[in-house]
Amino acid sequence: MSVLTAPLPVSVSLPEKQVNRVRLDYRHDRLLQLVDECTDISQLKQIHARALRTTSSHDARGLFIQSRILHAWSLVDAEYTHRLFGQVTEPNVFMWNTLIRSFALSRDLKEEAISVFGTMLEEGKVEPDKHTFPFVLKACAYLFALEEGKQLHAMTFKLGFDRDIYVNNSLIHFYASCGLLKNARDVFERMSSRSVVSWNAMIGALVEHGEFDNSLQLFREMQESSKPDGYTLQSVLNACAGLGSLSLGMWTHLYILKNFEADVNDDVLVNSSLVEMYCKSGSLELAEKVFRRMPRHSVHSWNSMILGFAMHGQAEATMKYFSDMTTEGGLVPNSVTFVGVLSACNHRGMVDEGRKYFDMMIKDYKIDPQIEHYGCLVDLLARAGLIEEALDLVSNMSMKPDKIIWRCLLDACSKKNAGIELSMDMAVQILEFGGEECSGVYVLLSRVYASAQQWNEVGLIRNLMMERGIAKEPGCSSMEINGVSHEFFAGDTSHPQTNSIYQTLYEIDEKLDAAGYLPDVSQAPMVEDEACDDKRNTLRLHSERLAIAFGLLNRKNGVPIRVFKNLRVCNDCHQVTKLVSRLYNMEIIVRDRTRFHHFKDGLCSCDDYW
């Protein structure tokens, strides 16, 4: 007997009118129960058919049942939900919200969420409530619909929802998604009460926009009023990773172990964030320990280790983890996995392996290459001197090359003496994008001319930069001592220990000279050619040299010096750091813009290929 036709438990001693009422109530309750317990579409269709025969949207109970059925459909098919909605004569606010939510959560129909909301306002029969705005704001955030979102914000004031915690959480997410961090912070600061979700939204937004210090400060404030959860900890760990703050990351790890139960300690996402933090802070050993102790692994956690080994230039370990993921882990690699493997090949100049994994991704795993995959292979080919092959790959890409790919080609041209004309073509492509890459393009072009001994053109580029107000991005290096971060810019004299730092630099220079060091001034073309002493002085004051001198002043036995730089390490600083690691018997770990370098005993983990 079908669950929809089961006999009704009604006593025959009741009057007929009451019996009918009880039967109707039972049918309604039974339908609601079936809707709540429904597990598949075919069952939902049966329930829906019975509801259409036994209920009416003209009475409150019938309208409620239809609302619940509409909600059930909204979770599986937005377009069908829209058709059902059109059959309701007097939809209530719950039904409007259900339809808006269905579109807002759909993959390709988010614009319809905003459109339906507009129709709701135009009809004027039902006013939006506090549950309406989060759904519409979610769609606006995804679509970067800034003007529409701002109008919604104004409407929340008009309708008195400006103090609602869920509406404000959605506004924070919307503004942060659209890049308006100040607006998000303003909403957050005006909130009279906050949930964990509120704190998480704001902390996560700050991390997403690279404001790592501010995010950690907000985390400290949060602890005074709310208990962090797994989502909070992921954001905090991402901030530690962004700063390269190993001590703070280790403190956060200890905080998790001491203050949270097994559900958070064993959480795959939290542990994956720990792996990423340790990798980005320069400690692959601790990252591996966390990974090995995880009770289970996801594709994301495998990717975290694969990307970690790749950024440290450990190609063999990267490929082993890739193999273990598919065999031992029994998981299918995704697009991110291949970014890690291709990056590892790129960092080691492994051209044949790079081609192999690129083909494997397409043929064996049916993954369409994205701009990141093309970027890795183009850079790998170009830096290996295969510039023509790299250009052929670019011309056959399924999407338009971005400025990063053109920058890779220009960088390779500047190193391989590929010719001024080709380099100019690359530069023009990058300059069409505009933005912050412009200064880097001028510097690379100056290196091309310097390599060709065309010093007049080097001077022209320098003058052109001055005329157009384009400044070379300043080098900045940071390092952490006893949990305190110290920043250094090229030629910096602002640090309290400046005198001691410069005295240490002088001592380093003496040791370098005694070891037979000769400066490589090829990457200081913005200084006049004849002023070799000025070029050497410019190089010796690079930000990482100041940071290393500071690290030597404050070193502890057995503890590596860890330096994090915003730009790529130049050839001369790379050579000097190798020598310093031998002369001072120190391990020095440098994370530059693209990868990690581990200097020890006069050698670097990159094998001088970066």
In a domain, 64, yes or no: yes
Last residue of a domain, one of 125, 145, 165: 125
Q: Percentage of residues in the chain with pLDDT exceeding 90?
A: 57
pLDDT (0 to 100) of residue 446: 83
Q: Is the dihedral of CA 27, 33, 35, 38 positive or negative?
A: negative
Has residue 77 got a pLDDT over 60? yes
In a domain, 332, yes or no: no
Average pLDDT, the chain: 86
**308/302 Cα distance (integer angstroms):** 10
pLDDT band at 407 (very low <50, low <70, confident <90, very high): confident
- Give the DSSP per-residue string, 257-275: HHH--HHHHT-HHHHHHHH
In a domain, 273, yes or no: no
Return all residues near 46 (Cβ < 8 A) that are at least 6 apart.
4
pLDDT (0 to 100) of residue 11: 45
Has residue 525 got a pLDDT over 60? no
Same domain, 517 and 582: yes
Q: What is the arithmetic mean of pLDDT over 396-418? A: 85
CA terminus-to-terminus distance, the chain: 72
Provide long-range contacts, Cβ within 8 A and 24+ apart, for 479-487: 479/547, 479/550, 479/551, 479/561, 479/562, 479/563, 479/564, 480/244, 480/245, 480/246, 480/247, 480/248, 480/562, 481/550, 481/551, 481/554, 482/247, 483/247, 483/248, 483/251, 485/243, 485/245, 486/547, 486/550
In a domain, 199, yes or no: no
Last residue of a domain, one of 451, 473, 495: 473
Same domain, 509 and 406: no
pLDDT (0 to 100) of residue 414: 76
pLDDT (0 to 100) of residue 8: 42
| Eight-state DSSP code of residue 568 | P
pLDDT (0 to 100) of residue 464: 84
Has residue 327 got a pLDDT over 50? yes
pLDDT (0 to 100) of residue 469: 82
Question: Is 570 in a helix, a strand, or coil?
Answer: coil
Last residue of a domain, one of 77, 94, 125: 125
Min mean pLDDT across 362-366, 449-453, 524-528, 544-548 is at 524-528
Same domain, 593 and 496: yes
Question: Is 82 in a helix, a strand, or coil?
Answer: helix
Same domain, 9 and 109: yes
Same domain, 445 and 485: no
Same domain, 456 and 482: no
Q: What is the arithmetic mean of pLDDT over 132-153? A: 95
37 and 8 Cβ atoms separated by less than 8 Å: no
Has residue 4 got a pLDDT over 50? no
Has residue 46 got a pLDDT over 70? no
In a domain, 459, yes or no: yes
Has residue 107 got a pLDDT over 80? yes
Angle at 475 between CA 469 and CA 476, to 5 degrees: 125
Look at the block and give the residue holding tokens 């719950």.
94
Q: Is 142 left (phi over 0), alpha (psi -120 to 50) or beta?
A: alpha
pLDDT band at 35 (very low <50, low <70, confident <90, very high): low
pLDDT band at 19 (very low <50, low <70, confident <90, very high): very low
In a domain, 353, yes or no: no
Pick 351 or 224 by higher pLDDT: 351
pLDDT, tens only, 278-317: 999 999 999 999 999 999 999 999 999 999 999 999 999 9
* Residue-number span of the structural domain to which 432 is assigned: 402-473
In a domain, 488, yes or no: yes
Same domain, 411 and 514: no
CA contacts within 13 A on the Cβ side of 606: 23
pLDDT, tens only, 146-182: 999 999 999 999 999 999 999 999 999 999 999 999 9
**535/556 Cα distance (integer angstroms):** 33
Q: Is the dihedral of CA 386, 388, 392, 397 positive or negative?
A: positive
User: Per the structure, how many domains does the chain have?
Assistant: 3
Same domain, 28 and 71: yes
pLDDT (0 to 100) of residue 21: 46
Same domain, 483 and 462: no
Q: Is the dihedral of CA 86, 92, 96, 98 positive or negative?
A: negative
Same domain, 445 and 492: no
**Which tokens is 337 given?**
């996995």
pLDDT (0 to 100) of residue 378: 95
**601/283 Cα distance (integer angstroms):** 19
pLDDT (0 to 100) of residue 24: 44
55 and 47 Cβ atoms separated by less than 8 Å: no
pLDDT, tens only, 591-606: 999 899 999 999 999 9
Q: Percentage of residues in the chain with pLDDT exceeding 70?
A: 84
pLDDT band at 277 (very low <50, low <70, confident <90, very high): very high
Q: Is the dihedral of CA 452, 458, 461, 465 positive or negative?
A: positive
Question: In Å, what is the CA distance from 22 to each residue of 5, 19, 50, 240, 446?
Answer: 16, 5, 18, 62, 88
In a domain, 383, yes or no: no
Same domain, 117 and 1: yes
Same domain, 9 and 80: yes
pLDDT (0 to 100) of residue 38: 58
